[in-house]
Amino acid sequence: MPPKGKAQKPKGPETSKAPSTAPAPQQAASPALSAPPANVKQRSQQRFDESRPYEVARQKVGLSGLSPAEQVGWISARFARSNAVARSRLGPKSQRELWRHVNEANLPVRALKKDPFWGRDRNGRDVGEYNLAQFDDRTAKRIALTALEVSSRAFGDLRERANRGPRDETSGLVVTETEVQEERVRRASMATLRKELYGEKMTGKLAQDPEWDDVEPIPYEEPAVALAAIAYPEEYAEAISYLRAVMQKKECSPRCLRLTEHIISMNPSHYTVWLYRASNIFALKLPFLDELNWLNSVALENLKNYQIWHHRHLLIENYYPKIADSPSAIADLAASEQEFLATILAEDTKNYHVWSYRSYLVSKLGLWGNADELAAMESMIRDDVRNNSAWSHRFYIIFSNPEHSTPGTASTEPDPRAPPDIVDREIQFAQDRIYLAPQNQSPWIYLRGVLVKGGRKLASVEKFVEEFITGLEEQGSKEDIQSTHALDLLAEIYAEKGDKKKADLCLRRLGDKWDRIRVGYWEWRRKCLGTPGGEVVAQA
């Protein structure tokens, strides 16, 4: 940096207050220089010229072209800024003369360097090309950064002393939360300033956070040849390197919890971070409801996510023992869960993970006979009678109710404990919905499932099934089939009754005309009819 001492201060236009010997030499010689400089380089040039009075004029017109006063000024200035050895070659008188001139004309006694380098900014631009306002701004930032660095070092010293604890005579020192918060703000400002001034990478959020100062992150270094390596965004790369560090130490703390939230916000399908979060929640004994509320918002933002529902499962597993003795607490939990499930299923009616969770919830909280649960299924089936997830769940809550089912009975097997009135009700329920859309397979499968569960003959619904089939005959022009599923069931009914011929006709018509894509299956079913004991399909 060029010297900016006071010696240079009087210069340019201001210097001209010593007109006695050399009236406004620079102005006359170079009017352009009197204009305010456009950028830092120009100002440097101006100052350089000012530190060499009459030099510009001399270069133009030669020494002899200057007035005698100017010549004296030029020579005096040269001697004044030259070194003492050079000056010592002058006699004592000449030296006195020299200093007299210097004083009178207020000549600079030190010269500036030519073309000083001002450095480059973060974009590689020469700072010398900054205009003066920009330059002042940059200077102010550098000063501010230095000030922050000083304060930050002071914070570091303070905390180090505090950490040394009682052994130190200054024991009793504590770093307050306010101070930590101030330091956090300070580091954020420092990072911003460094980035603006020097283009330094923004330090990661965590590296900047005084709360994480004691953790040495473990970055994940992929081998150079790694396949399908993901170019992690910096923030993510930083966060998972801190995650590895705290997981290695098995740390459970509020800051770890915040770290998991941070990572989940970037990648909710990171199963490791979810499991780690759960262990933190349980280790810190955090309130179940707080976590559940947080989870609700995450779930709504990530409808397709898988891990969220296992996390919820773990929360319920952990919480349930605490309320197991309180039927009212269980009822409250059931009601709030049902409410949330209604919200989420309204967004995505067939979400597999949500439905799987729902079936878990029923078994955990014993909701088989819960009226609201049944009503919820009824309402979802009303909204879309083809929602098979709702049909499937309905079957589960009704026929797996431990109050009237035999443990260990397979889903496709009859259960002697299935109450006849419920079986009747469900047959009716399915039939009513089949009328709405006879080609909808869900209620047909349901109907068949109910019949089997209840130990009923399939033929008990023969009349109903026949309503959807008219004029069944080979190549018949009057043949009218409203439902291929009815025809399928009818084939089973005929087989059950031993009428293989009619059963075979149903299956042939399915394969030939009404459901040709499945012809291979229908043909196999026909073969089943011929095999001794082949009615198995009907008896399953």
Partner 1 sequence: MARPRPSDQRFSPAAAAATHPFSGRFEPADEEFVIEHTYPAYMIPDLFTVAPPVRDALVTATSRAQDKTVDICLPFLSGEDDVFKYNEHGVPRLNKTNHIKFLHRSLEPLPGGFILMDASRPWFLYWSLSAMTMLGEDVSVYKDAIIETVRSMQNETGGFGGGGGQLSHLATTYAVVLALALVGAEEGFEIVDRKAMWRWICSLKQPDGGFQVGVGGEEDIRGAYCAAVIVTLLNLPLDLTPESPAWTAGSDKNLFSGLAEYVKRCQTFEGGISGQPNAEAHGAYAFCALGCLSILGDPRRIIPRYLDVPRLISWLSSRQYAPEGGFSGRTNKLVDGCYSHWVGGCFPLIEACFNTPSNKQAGMKSDSASPKKLPPASESLFSREGLIRYILCCCQEPSRKGGLRDKPGKAADAYHSCYVLSGLSSAQHQWELTSSVEGDLTGGQMDSVWNVLPYLEDDVQIFDHGDRVLPIHPVYAIPLQHQQAIRSYFLAKEGF
Within positions 488 to 517, which residues make up the interface with partner 1, using CB under 8 A? 488, 512-517
Residues 219-248 that bind partner 1 (CB under 8 A): 220-223, 225-233, 236, 240, 243-244, 247
Closest CB 276 distance from partner 1, rounded Å = 8
User: Which of residues 27, 189, 388, 431 is near partner 1 by CB under 8 A?
Assistant: 388
User: Which of residues 79, 340, 355, 494 is near partner 1 by CB under 8 A?
Assistant: 355
Tokens at 253, concatenated: 């703390």
Closest CB 156 distance from partner 1, rounded Å = 29
Closest CB 466 distance from partner 1, rounded Å = 16
List residues bridging with 126 in a β-sheet: 120
Question: First-to-last CA distance in the chain?
Answer: 94
- E strand residue ranges, 363-464: none
Site string for partner 1, 246-265 (x = CB under 8 A): -x------------------
How big is the site for partner 1, counted in residues (CB under 8 A)?
A: 97
Closest CB 293 distance from partner 1, rounded Å = 22
Q: CA 490 to CA 492: how far, in whole Å?
A: 5
Options 143-151, 166-174, 353-361, 455-463: segment touching partner 1 (CB under 8 A): 353-361
Site string for partner 1, 389-418 (x = CB under 8 A): x--xx-xx--xx---------xxxx-----
Neighbours of 516 (CB within 10 A): 10
Q: CA 306 to CA 291: how far, in whole Å?
A: 17
Residues 356-375 that bind partner 1 (CB under 8 A): 356, 359-360, 363
Closest CB 491 distance from partner 1, rounded Å = 11
Closest CB 438 distance from partner 1, rounded Å = 6
Q: CA 539 to CA 536: how far, in whole Å?
A: 5
Site string for partner 1, 416-445 (x = CB under 8 A): --------------------xxxxxxx--x
Give the angle subtended at the CA of 362 by the CAs of 360 and 366, to the nearest 5°.
Answer: 125
Would you list the DSSP string of 49-105? HHTSTTHHHHHHH-GGGS-HHHHHHHHHHHHHHS-HHHHHTS-HHHHHHHHHHHHHH
Estimate the crossing angle of helix 307-323 against helix 271-283, to 10 degrees: 20
DSSP helix/strand/coil, 120:
strand
Phi, psi (rounded to 5 degrees) for 396: -65, -50
User: Which of residues 256, 481, 490, 495 is near partner 1 by CB under 8 A?
Assistant: 481
Closest CB 215 distance from partner 1, rounded Å = 14
The answer to whether 126 and 118 have CB atoms below 8 angstroms apart is yes
Site string for partner 1, 449-478 (x = CB under 8 A): x--xx---------------------x---
Q: Of 221 and 403, which CB lies nearer to partner 1 in the complex structure? A: 221
Asked if 540 is part of the footprint of partner 1 (rule: CB under 8 A), the reply reads: yes
> For residue 189, with 0-12 CB atoms within 10 Å meaning exposed, 13-18 middle and 19 or more buried, which class applies?
middle
Closest CB 267 distance from partner 1, rounded Å = 5
Q: What is the DSSP letter of 513?
A: I
